[in-house]
Amino acid sequence: MREGTFFCIDAHTCGNPVRLVAGGYPALTGANMSQKRQYFMEHYDWIRQALMFEPRGHSMMSGSIVYPPCSEDADASILFIETSGCLPMCGHGTIGTVTAAIENAIIRPRVPGKLILDVPAGKIAIEYEQQGAKVESVKIYNVPAYLAHSEVAVQVPEMGELVVDVAYGGNYYAIIDPQKNFPGLEHFSVDQILRFSPLVRRIVDEVVECVHPDDPTVRGVSHVLWTGKPTQPGVDARNAVFYGDRAIDRSPCGTGTSARMAQWFAKGKLKVGDTFVHESIIGSLFEGRVEDVATVGSYQGIRPSVQGWARVYGHNTIWVDSEDPYAHGFEV
Ligand code: PYC
């Protein structure tokens, strides 16, 4: 028996997948996207599992569903679905969703080239550039970002002591800069990232408390951002962002770039108006900018923007059949 048929537009943002579910998705209950996210996780998480995990997806799969706006001044809302769960905010997901949604008339902007979107983490503004039918680039004015914890020392089995900063950019990031027991991303293999990241995340999450001052459902360190030297001229930093159980972002990571800018701002390495070009593990780039200062609870943070591009590469009708033993996916 068919549990559901989903019409998807598949895209990637700077190399990281975005599967926009454009049909077959359920209506959600809630006054805002944070409440709708909770409702989806409680009642419809099987849709996320079916569309993100193998055999219909893979460890890195990530996607979204566009909903009507929750607030009066917004054009639309986005729910993010990933192998790691339903993120409060996803930068590469937003860039891919806006690109696919504008190119396919799923979102109709009131002002051409501009959007206001409700997302679970709050409200974001978008500016996008179009050439004919194609969206060439998308700039996100993200939710406020801030440095939540500075120089937290943790003991990691087989690595020894690591000193990490924890910053919020739509998700909470443990940020690991080069130091005695971490020589930098350029000396660290993908296998090491996959092996040590879940450990670092669990240990950091045990020793610091991360709860968003405006929304207690946004909590906990979910991502680990390893940093290193850029490989290209004009780039400020390189990163590998680990999330879920096995995923390393192929894009430079929008919420990670926002968190990193908040970290640098707090440490005096960036000021309002400065740009920050971030390189991903595969060499793709996002351009960030510190747009303004912003307060988050008792924290002094920033309003970051992040600009990148996405390409749509196909349409995909996926059905989920309850007689399929792997209807809701699996992970190895
Ligand atoms: O771009 O914000 C992002 C993101 C989060 C997880 C993967 N990408």
In this prediction, residue 2 carries a pLDDT of 83
What pLDDT, in 10s, does the model give residues 68-88?
999 999 999 999 999 999 999
Please tell me whether residues 14 and 124 are part of one structural domain: yes
In this prediction, residue 331 carries a pLDDT of 87
**Angle (nearest 5°) at CA 12 between 10 and 17:** 75
Please tell me whether residues 165 and 297 are part of one structural domain: yes
Q: How high does pLDDT run on average in the chain?
A: 97
In this structure, the residue with its CA closest to atom 6 of ligand 1 is 90
Please work out whether the CB of residue 203 comes within 6 Å of at least one atom of ligand 1. Answer: no
Please tell me whether residues 157 and 135 are part of one structural domain: no
Identify the band that residue 125 occupies on the pLDDT scale cut at 50, 70 and 90.
very high
In this prediction, residue 116 carries a pLDDT of 98
Please tell me whether residues 151 and 294 are part of one structural domain: yes
Q: Kindly give the distance from the C-alpha atom of residue 132 to the centroid of ligand 1, in angstroms, as a whole number.
A: 28
Tally of domains within the chain: 2
In this structure, the residue with its CA closest to atom 8 of ligand 1 is 253
Closest ligand 1 atom, CA of 243?
6
Please tell me whether residues 16 and 71 are part of one structural domain: yes
Q: Kindly give the distance from the C-alpha atom of residue 174 to the centroid of ligand 1, in angstroms, as a whole number.
A: 14
Percent of the chain with pLDDT over 90: 98
Residue 207 has pLDDT above 90, yes or no: yes
Q: How far apart are the first and last CA of the chain?
A: 26
Q: Kindly give the distance from the C-alpha atom of residue 84 to the centroid of ligand 1, in angstroms, as a whole number.
A: 11
Q: Kindly give the distance from the C-alpha atom of residue 255 to the centroid of ligand 1, in angstroms, as a whole number.
A: 6
**List 14, 86, 90, 210, catalytic entry:** 90
Residue 1 has pLDDT above 90, yes or no: no
Please tell me whether residues 201 and 97 are part of one structural domain: no
Could you check whether the bond before residue 252 is cis, i.e. omega within 30 degrees of 0?
no
| Active-site residue flag, 253 | yes
Please count the other Cβ atoms lying within 10 Å of the Cβ belonging to residue 272: 12
Please tell me whether residues 55 and 189 are part of one structural domain: no
Structure tokens given for 42: 């409680």
Residue 208 covered by a domain: yes
What pLDDT, in 10s, does the model give residues 130-153?
999 999 999 999 999 999 999 999
Residue 328 covered by a domain: no
Please tell me whether residues 158 and 33 are part of one structural domain: no
Nearest to 15 by CA among 77, 62, 65, 57: 62
Closest ligand 1 atom, CA of 253?
1
> What is the distance between the alpha carbons of residues 67 and 291, in angstroms, rounded to a whole number?
27
Closest ligand 1 atom, CA of 255?
2
Please work out whether the CB of residue 310 comes within 6 Å of at least one atom of ligand 1. Answer: no
| Active-site residue flag, 90 | yes
What pLDDT, in 10s, does the model give residues 5-56?
999 999 999 999 999 999 999 999 999 999 999 999 999 999 999 999 999 9
> What is the distance between the alpha carbons of residues 288 and 266, in angstroms, rounded to a whole number?
16
Domain boundaries, position 73: 2-139+311-321
Please work out whether the CB of residue 251 comes within 6 Å of at least one atom of ligand 1. Answer: yes
Q: What is the mean pLDDT of residues 307-327?
A: 97
Please tell me whether residues 7 and 96 are part of one structural domain: yes
Looking up residue 160, the CATH number of its domain turns out to be 3.10.310.10
Residue 326 covered by a domain: no
In this prediction, residue 77 carries a pLDDT of 98
What pLDDT, in 10s, does the model give residues 157-186?
999 999 999 999 999 999 999 999 999 999
Please work out whether the CB of residue 88 comes within 6 Å of at least one atom of ligand 1. Answer: no
Please tell me whether residues 35 and 117 are part of one structural domain: yes
Q: Kindly give the distance from the C-alpha atom of residue 261 to the centroid of ligand 1, in angstroms, as a whole number.
A: 15
Residue 199 covered by a domain: yes
**ipTM for the whole predicted complex goes beyond 0.85:** yes
> What is the distance between the alpha carbons of residues 9 and 22, in angstroms, rounded to a whole number?
7
In this prediction, residue 37 carries a pLDDT of 98
Please work out whether the CB of residue 76 comes within 6 Å of at least one atom of ligand 1. Answer: no
Residue 332 has pLDDT above 90, yes or no: no
Residue 220 covered by a domain: yes
Please work out whether the CB of residue 193 comes within 6 Å of at least one atom of ligand 1. Answer: no
In this structure, the residue with its CA closest to atom 5 of ligand 1 is 90
Please tell me whether residues 100 and 199 are part of one structural domain: no
Q: Kindly give the distance from the C-alpha atom of residue 99 to the centroid of ligand 1, in angstroms, as a whole number.
A: 16
In this prediction, residue 8 carries a pLDDT of 98
Please tell me whether residues 226 and 129 are part of one structural domain: no
Residue 329 covered by a domain: no
Mutate to test the pocket of ligand 1, among 171, 258, 287 (most ligand atoms within 8 A of CB): 171
Residue 240 covered by a domain: yes
Please count the other Cβ atoms lying within 10 Å of the Cβ belonging to residue 258: 35
What pLDDT, in 10s, does the model give residues 222-246?
999 999 999 999 999 999 999 999 9
Closest ligand 1 atom, CA of 95?
1
Residue 327 covered by a domain: no
- Cβ pair 84, 243 in contact under 8 A: yes
